[in-house]
Amino acid sequence: MIYLDHSATTPVDQRVVEAMAPYWTEMYGNPSSVYGLGRRSAAALEDARRTVARLLNAQPAEIVFTSCGTESDNLAIRGVALAAAAKSRRHLITTPIEHHAVLHTMADLVERFDFEVTHIPVDRSGLVDPADVRAAIRPDTALISVMTANNEVGTIEPIAEIGAIARQFGVPFHTDAVQAAASLSLDVEALQVDLLALSAHKFHGPKGVGLLYIRKGTRLGPVQTGGSQERGRRAGTENVPYIVGMARALELSAMDRPAESARLLALRERLLAGILSRIPDVELTGHRERRLPGHLSLIVRGVEVQSLLIALDLAGIAASSGSACASGAPTPSGVLRAMGYAPNEALGALRLTLGRSNSEADIDTVLELLPELVRKVRGA
């Protein structure tokens, strides 16, 4: 199989599996227990916290471990919004191209807690204009949330510029960096963010573990209450093996990043050039340059993408139509609609996302098979 869906998830690195192994059956203590077995788990947990903090240029106390990217986004948005509501600040700013973890969380705050949301526009390439963020800020703005890189079209947003504006106005700034961690270096100081969400399964760690960076001094209440784990910000016994695995995965990802990003960029350009020269009526979506290196998103006109995905699957190629969560339902992508594409154009969205397992030979195979599959689906 040729796996071209690294934005949906990635295989766990063997070195990550090895790092996790002792924490299932040998060092299984509860990190809150006082005896040696528990203390060893606590030490592993704090070691993982120091590692991810160093890689993000943060302080260990600013890292909260969660169960996934979705939970990290929820904790950032609900945690800050509900703390701000106590001070009568109920206005949120975001973009229409965020993941549902952000959009649906804000919609819930509107519906049940009387918040108001401003969705700032994006241009045809999916890019946010920082001036629009500045113009949307009000005295009662509680939070700004703009993703680091988009999952459907790969566009990388001007986070540092938006961060500078947020700081100037004293508004907390959250970024969903879930898609970015595999290929971009993330420095919370350079990005000027107050909250940053990650999910391990996007960078060769296990599914079901994530983290939220919370800048010291950010007013945030807990969403999940119970024990005093994670300094009272996220109750529940910590998932020690997965957290150890996530820290190792982020470390490996940071080590390999410069060489791997350059390799993926070259492969993507070869794939793009090959597709554009072999298949008529195809358009690149997202920004031409400001995009994740392994990310290719296209509109294939005159194609019902679900049929193309099935044909690709039968040919041994795993691809997607955009976000994995939306696959299966033939509704046009809200991201592409917000970028100005018509609903029938958006239904032709194809996403091919490259990663560690892909080689030049994979690209050649795809370029050999895809034109014929598109021709067949168009003719059907």
Closer to ligand PLP by Cβ: residue 109 or 377: 109
Closer to ligand PLP by Cβ: residue 191 or 363: 191
Spatial distance between the Cα atoms of 7 and 254, rounded to a whole number of angstroms: 17
Burial of 67 per CB tally in 10 Å (0-12, 13-18, 19+): middle
Q: Apex CA 142: angle with CA 137 and CA 148, to 5°?
A: 75
Among 311, 301, 241, CA closest to 275:
301
- Say whether 68 is catalytic: no
DSSP-based three-state secondary structure for 146: coil
Closer to ligand PLP by Cβ: residue 13 or 279: 13
Encoding tokens for residue 164? Answer: 């500078």
- Residue 333's φ and ψ, nearest 5 degrees, are -60, 130
Closer to ligand PLP by Cβ: residue 275 or 346: 346
Burial of 301 per CB tally in 10 Å (0-12, 13-18, 19+): middle
Closer to ligand PLP by Cβ: residue 353 or 358: 353
Nearest approach, Cβ of 79 to ligand PLP (angstroms)?
Answer: 16
Spatial distance between the Cα atoms of 352 and 276, rounded to a whole number of angstroms: 14
Sign of CA dihedral 365, 367, 368, 373: positive
Encoding tokens for residue 317? Answer: 């190629």
The number of residues in the chain equals 380
- Number of CB atoms found within 10 A of residue 269's CB: 13
Nearest approach, Cβ of 212 to ligand PLP (angstroms)?
Answer: 12
- Number of CB atoms found within 10 A of residue 132's CB: 16
Residue 260 near residue 64, CB atoms below 8 Å = no
Of the candidates 273, 325, 340, 343, the residue annotated as catalytic is 325
Amino acid letter for position 216: K
Residue 238 near residue 31, CB atoms below 8 Å = yes
Footprint of ligand PLP on this chain (CB under 6 A)? 68-70, 73, 99, 101, 147, 151, 176, 178-179, 199, 210
Spatial distance between the Cα atoms of 18 and 22, rounded to a whole number of angstroms: 8
Nearest approach, Cβ of 156 to ligand PLP (angstroms)?
Answer: 12
Spatial distance between the Cα atoms of 349 and 358, rounded to a whole number of angstroms: 21
Closer to ligand PLP by Cβ: residue 43 or 325: 325
Q: What is the rounded end-to-end Cα distance, in angstroms, of the chain?
A: 25
Closer to ligand PLP by Cβ: residue 101 or 137: 101
Q: Provide the annotated active-site residues.
A: 325
